[in-house]
Amino acid sequence: MSWILTFTGKRFDYEAPTVDAICIEDIAQALSHECRFNGHIPEFYSVAQHCVIASKIVPPSFAFEALLHDAHEAYCKDIPSPLKKLIPDYRGIENNIDFVIRYKFGLPATTSPIVKHADLVMLATERRDLDIDDGTPWPMLNGIRPSEDIFVSPVNPVQARAMFMQRYNQLSSERAA
């Protein structure tokens, strides 16, 4: 068996993901229950909330992409980068799912540099605000400064799911206009 049953009752097949198996409600549900930093933080902080905040620090034309930049983690989970490097097949599976999601939502085939930079700014900001800065340098953050405009204050999964769906609906309406 290579599929899972999602929150909305869809069968998501890892070997053959389809656009029909991707559902924004499933993405919102899963990301709102997925803790950043593999859970190694003082209090729960979801990937969904991370994505919502990221969508607010990019130029408006990149907000929708930033909101969905980690959508594949709804199906793959947020595995720490050092562990991903040890699981060679995982990156391919993750990239395939990301491609299907990007296609479904009309996003660029690869992550825009502006969204990648915003993700790093979020990482630096989360490091500052979530009390996980032990003074050890994080090489990927060389030259990256935390946002001066936001303070990350974690919310619970129900709130994070609502925030994510509200932001998705807002940005979808703007794209349709």
Q: What is the pLDDT of residue 84?
A: 82
Q: What is the pLDDT of residue 176?
A: 86
Segment 94-128, tens digit of pLDDT:
999 999 999 999 999 999 999 999 999 999 999 99
What does the alpha-carbon distance between residue 1 and residue 46 come to, in Å, rounded to a whole number?
A: 29
Is domain 18-112+155-176 classified as CATH 1.10.3210.10? yes
Cα-Cα-Cα-Cα dihedral of 55, 18, 37, 53, to 10°?
Answer: 10
Where are the domains positioned within the chain?
A: 18-112+155-176
132 pLDDT above the threshold of 90 = yes
Q: What is the pLDDT of residue 21?
A: 97
Which structure tokens are listed for 108?
A: 């660029």
Segment 16-71, tens digit of pLDDT:
999 999 999 999 999 999 999 999 999 999 999 999 999 999 999 999 999 999 99
